[in-house]
Each structure stands twice: as C-alpha cells, then as structure tokens.
Structure 1
C-alpha cells in the first residue's frame, strides 16, 4: 500500500478539484488529489463548453466576474488556451414575455457590467438572419464565449501535477474517516492518505463523500446529453441559449455544431448513455432555431453525469459539522465558467479562513438552515 501524509487531500480531479489543487500548490501547500477515473474525464470534460456569465444568479456572478479574466489568460495558467473564444453569448426569446424577462434580468444584474444588449425586431433579424421565425429577439452578452472542455479539464489536472500536486488516478475512494484533527482516506488496499484538511470536489459523487463524514447534503443526479454534427459552413458565431432553457448550441471553428438541452439515463456504475427521445428533441429544436441544421448529420453523441441542487446553486465552503472538510460540488450544469474562480476561493478559505469573493449563498448547510426557520417544515 502507498501511504501519503499531506496538508490537503482533494477528492475529484475535475476542473474544481484541479483548480483548487493548483491554487494551493502555488501557495506552497502540499496536496494529494484522488480521482476515480482520469483527471477531467467526467462532467468537467464532457460538458457543453459554454463560458458564460449571462443567465447566472447574482450570487454566482461574483464568481463569474472573478473567473472572467482567467479565461482570457488561460494559456498562462494551464499551458493551453483550451480553444477559448470570446464569441459572445445570446439568450434567445420566443415570445414577448421572454423579452420582458430578459430585460428584467439585465436590469437586475446591471451592477455586474455584463454589457447586455436587448435585441428585437428588424435589428435582431438583420444581425442574426440564421435564426428561425419562432425566435423574435434575444439578450446579447459580448464578453461571454466558449471553450473545449475536454482540453481544458485535462490541462488543469496536468497543471496541478506539474505544480507539484500528487495526482493519483483510477483510485476510487472506498473509505473516509476522521483521524485526530484530520482525515484518513483509503482507496481499497492500494492507497492511504492522511490529510489535515479535505476538499470534496467529487461532483455527482459529492453527496456520498459528504454522507460518509456525517454531512447530509441534498442533491439529485441527472445526465446532460450532448450531440455534435458534421462540420458545416458558418451558421452562427455566438454561443446560444434559450430563455427558459431547453436548448443550447455553439459552432466551433472547424464547423461542427455542439448542441444540448436534454438528458440521458443511467447505465450502471456511475456511467450514463444518451436517451433517444432526448436526442430527437434536441434535433427538432435545433432545426426550428437554426433552420440551416435541418439536414445536418450527427456524428457523435454522449451523456455525462451531474449533481443538481434545489436552488441550482453549488455547495461551496467548509462543513458546519466537520471542521476541516470543504465542499465544492452540486454545480447543476453551470460549473465550467466559474471553476477557475472556485479553485481560488477554496484556496483562500483553506489558507486564510475567508474569501475576497462572496460565497455565503453557497453554504453547504443552507437547506438545513431553511428547514429550521419558523414556519418551515423539515
């Protein structure tokens, strides 16, 4: 058995775990990171790849603002640009009610300087002739963009390793216990890690890791499904979404359209597969929203696995019940853009006991707090 003694153990070598490990190593903190598969191979590497601030809750926009300049300088951070393009993001409206909701959101987040522009009528149609007749306008955020999650997630894990983090892959955690003021983690009979502090960045498995240490944190699973078309002539230059959800898409430089908006099904042992009904709905929505895709051939499909919370906000912060345990999971399909900032925030919480970025809204015990309030039923 390999034995390690470290300052911080990180469970999960996806974007959140790797960004945290990298930030800690840059402060000289000893880190061991455990990953059940390969770094960045789960949700972090198979998500849609939207690097957007628009549409986030005001609470998340503090994190998004911190992450925004990191994406612009990604190569200096992890050695590659991850095919990051500041293409802009447009949230589309199918009704006047949608436009009203988009305008209300723009007013609500005006202090975050997103530069949102509400477009409708002739101005919208002239700028974006690619959209079908059911789309009547949208909200454009010029500073948002897109990147290749497969490249970015793996590069973050590699950057953490190069910075001196011990990254142990194909090592599912089979046991976690308190040991004095710290933690003992075991991966079967192969690896034992003693750590003074623990970061739970296990994604869809995060609630299970929390439960092993007595933290009851509610979360459900789902399986976001993505499909990719053959390379097509230029159709749309911006990252797109729909007010109210149900479809998102982006066209990459080589011409392929990456699209999602449905969910797959579990296929055992934490794996998932696309659902034929969801794929048909994504294809149908794509044809209505972007008529030029009507006869495009689909060349690749997949489904990931993600943890979703009741308020669609993640759990970030130290456990209220287990000192030294820091949670960072439950990103509800929206963790890609904010991950670099979350890593820095966790580093600050571990090293300084506080963060310069507000994260109170993401307290891991917030649902227990709500249940305890007068007039609420547990």
Structure 2
C-alpha cells in the first residue's frame, strides 16, 4: 500500500538526538516526521551506560555540553518523566601521578567553562569516599554531573515528540532520498513517499551511507560498549565514577543496582548486532571489585551491548551539509552522546529554522573530513568536480 506524507522536516534516526530535535522543532511550530528502521531509542541511545557528565570532554564540546546541562533538570516538564536523572556528581579517579597530572592539566584548561572541578588528593579521597579502594592517587570531582536511565530517557523523548504532533514512523527504514527542488523526497518502509523541506541525518552507526550518498563520505566506524548490572545492593556509591585514561566506570541507581562498564562486545555476522563476551564481563567485574570492595560478592544479573558510531577524532559530526542545502548531520558521538543529545536537538532545530545556532559547533563540521580531489578524482573536463557530485543530490540506501 502506498502513502504520501508532506512535512517541513524529516529526521532519519529515532535515537535521542533525532527525537530531541523532533520535539524542539515541534515547539517551533514545524511539522516533523521521525523515521527509524527499528524502534526509537532501541540502539545506542537506549543501551548506553547512562552517564550525564561534562567532565572529561574536549574543550570544544563544552559549550554544547553546558547547553544540555541546563536541560536535564527539566526532563519532567519537557518529556513527562525525570528519566531517573540524578545530579550525583562525577568522580574521575587517577591511578598514579601521571593520571593526576592529566586531571590537573584538564582542570586548568577548562577553568573558564563553568564545570567547577574540584581536585582531590589521596588522603581527602579516602576520607570522603571510603568505599573506593585500590591504588588511587587522587581524583577530580564535577559535582554538577550525574547519571540517568537511558532506556527511559531515549524512549521518553520519542514519546514526547509523538504527543507534540510528530509523525513517529518506527520499523520504517529509509531506502532512498533525493534532493528535489526546494526540498527532499524520501522513500521509506513499504510504499511511503515523504516530502520534506529539510532533512536531518541522525542515523547513528547507520549514518555513513546517508552522508556518502550526498557527497560527504566520513571515516565512521562502529564500537560496541558492553555493560553489566548487578543485583540490588545496599548503598555503596555516592557519585558516578570513572577512570582517567579509561577503564572501569560505575554508578549505582536508587533501587541499589550497580551499572558497570568498561569493556567492548563483539559484533555478530550481522554487524548491526553484537553480544557481550564472557571474558569481558569477568574482566569488568574483577576491576569493579578491586575498586569497590562492597561489590566483591555481588551477583551480575544482566549483560548487554549496543552499536554506536565512532569518529577517529572522537568528536561528533554536527551541522549543515557542505554539499546539499537543507541537509543537516548529527552523528558519530563515539560513546559520549547521551549527555549532550538534548542540546544537540535544540541546535539542530535552530539550524533548520534560522540557518544558524547560538552554540559554537564549528569543530564538528562534516567538512573536516573532506579533501581536495586528486588527479584520479577529476572529471574528464579537468574541472576537479567531486566524484560524488551527482549522488550528492540523490541517494539510494540498502
């Protein structure tokens, strides 16, 4: 059965970025269709660790992170649930003097960004956070950071967008997109034709082909973060905790379960899917038990992993297309998109409506991956036109 839908904005990808953009656009009075090949929030947005942190982000991400920081306390009024958001603080631990020096250098670098970081020495750490053991030299505390439940938040934004009037189209993969006159024509699902004045590519790990079809290939790869949740325990952790330089990270929810991450899952034959590994799960729990003695006899009750898009410089792609008017990208958050996603949604809505945003995003331009055409890329007339010059206005995706 064929169907036709006309909207102001079409969004490919119903994760937290796409859903928050849809909600913001509806608040501006624009008509929106949000399309997902599966269920909204079922991929990276809904299966991540749930850290809501600014600390540790590159300086160029902090204005965007601060914008999102102001949104999280308003979740209940914005989407109807608080998403179990808790401003617990985020404690980054240092193993050794080199890690502590790195925390000190970072604090100095971002001192003007409003994070209010507190550097904590070894003795003070033992006194204030007695539940942490192991060879820890010190730490950095960002008291305003916290954590939330990604399964609730990701679906909550999509539900709020639907209630606001967004056409939420799940199990509706986009199979073709064409720049058509003043807008775009999309083919999706089984016989759906969609016309839109603007198009947002927020397809996560599946965003690469969409960008490439419009003449903007990117070096996107996939990662598969793996998580564990324990049985409910007596109160242990008072803050969301991570390690300088990477390693185990952990938080405890109000009902007592501890969520622990720090390893990677393995992709299956279908790289859209992945699974945790037994060795990885054991390694995570052993690391957690070393740091948090109260977890040493905890039962792990659930394991999971998910598929996330990663960029080589660990910064996302956010902003307008460099080849196609009306096309906007937002993907490649490299495992750190949960906290900033609501801010990204507002930025995308501003870009669509105004053509500009009040938040600096120049560092995230997709143009940073473009390169001048080589001799082999030049057309027969020697003009040097991009080899993607024709597909930039028409894309077909499988």
Q: Equivalent residue for 2:39? A: 38
Q: Equivalent residue for 2:196? A: 195
Q: Equivalent residue for 1:213? A: 214
Q: Equivalent residue for 1:328? A: 330
Q: Is the 1:176–1:213 Cα contact (8 Å) retained in structure 2?
A: no
Matched residue of 2:112: which SS? helix
| Deviation at residue 189 of structure 1 after TM alignment | 2.9
| Deviation at residue 371 of structure 1 after TM alignment | 10
Give runs of aligned pairs for residues 116-135 of structure 1, distance below 5 A: 116-135=117-136
Q: Equivalent residue for 2:286? A: 284
| Deviation at residue 369 of structure 1 after TM alignment | 5.4
Q: Equivalent residue for 1:306? A: 308
Q: TM-score, normalised by structure 2?
A: 0.91
Matched residue of 1:241: which SS? strand
Q: Equivalent residue for 1:100? A: 101
Q: Equivalent residue for 2:379? A: none
The match for 1:345 among 341, 344, 347 is 347
Alignment gaps of 5+ in structure 1: 373-378
CA distance in 1, matches of 2:93, 2:163: 41
Q: Equivalent residue for 2:263? A: 262
Q: Over residues 38-87 of structure 1, what are the superposed CA-to-partner deviations in whole Å (9 max), with x where a residue is unaligned?
A: 11111101110000000001111001111111111111111110000000
Q: How many residues align?
A: 372
Give runs of aligned pairs for residues 1-378 of structure 1, distance below 5 A: 1-267=2-268, 268=270, 270-368=272-370
Q: Over residues 129-168 of structure 1, what are the superposed CA-to-partner deviations in whole Å (9 max), with x where a residue is unaligned?
A: 1112212211001000010011111010011111111010
Q: Is the 2:216–2:370 Cα contact (8 Å) retained in structure 1?
A: no
Q: Which has the larger radius of gyration?
A: 2
- Structure-2 change in CA distance of 1:242 and 1:207 (3 Å): same
CA distance in 1, matches of 2:305, 2:340: 21
CA distance in 2, matches of 1:141, 1:192: 48
| Over 6 Å off, 4+ runs | none
CA distance in 2, matches of 1:277, 1:183: 47
Q: Over residues 14-42 of structure 1, what are the superposed CA-to-partner deviations in whole Å (9 max), with x where a residue is unaligned?
A: 11001101111111111111011111111
Q: Equivalent residue for 1:376? A: none
| Deviation at residue 370 of structure 1 after TM alignment | 9.5
Moved more, 249-258 or 172-181: 172-181
| Deviation at residue 291 of structure 1 after TM alignment | 1.9
CA distance in 1, matches of 2:32, 2:134: 53
Q: Is the 1:217–1:365 Cα contact (8 Å) retained in structure 2?
A: no
| Deviation at residue 269 of structure 1 after TM alignment | 5.6
Q: Over residues 213-267 of structure 1, what are the superposed CA-to-partner deviations in whole Å (9 max), with x where a residue is unaligned?
A: 2221111101110100111111111001100012211001111110111111112
Q: Over residues 267-322 of structure 1, what are the superposed CA-to-partner deviations in whole Å (9 max), with x where a residue is unaligned?
A: 22611111222212211211111122122111000000001111111000011011
Q: Equivalent residue for 1:375? A: none
| Deviation at residue 181 of structure 1 after TM alignment | 3.0
Q: Is the 1:219–1:310 Cα contact (8 Å) retained in structure 2?
A: yes
| Deviation at residue 100 of structure 1 after TM alignment | 0.7
Matched residue of 1:351: which SS? helix
CA distance in 2, matches of 1:261, 1:371: 40
Matched residue of 2:7: which SS? strand
CA distance in 2, matches of 1:371, 1:234: 59
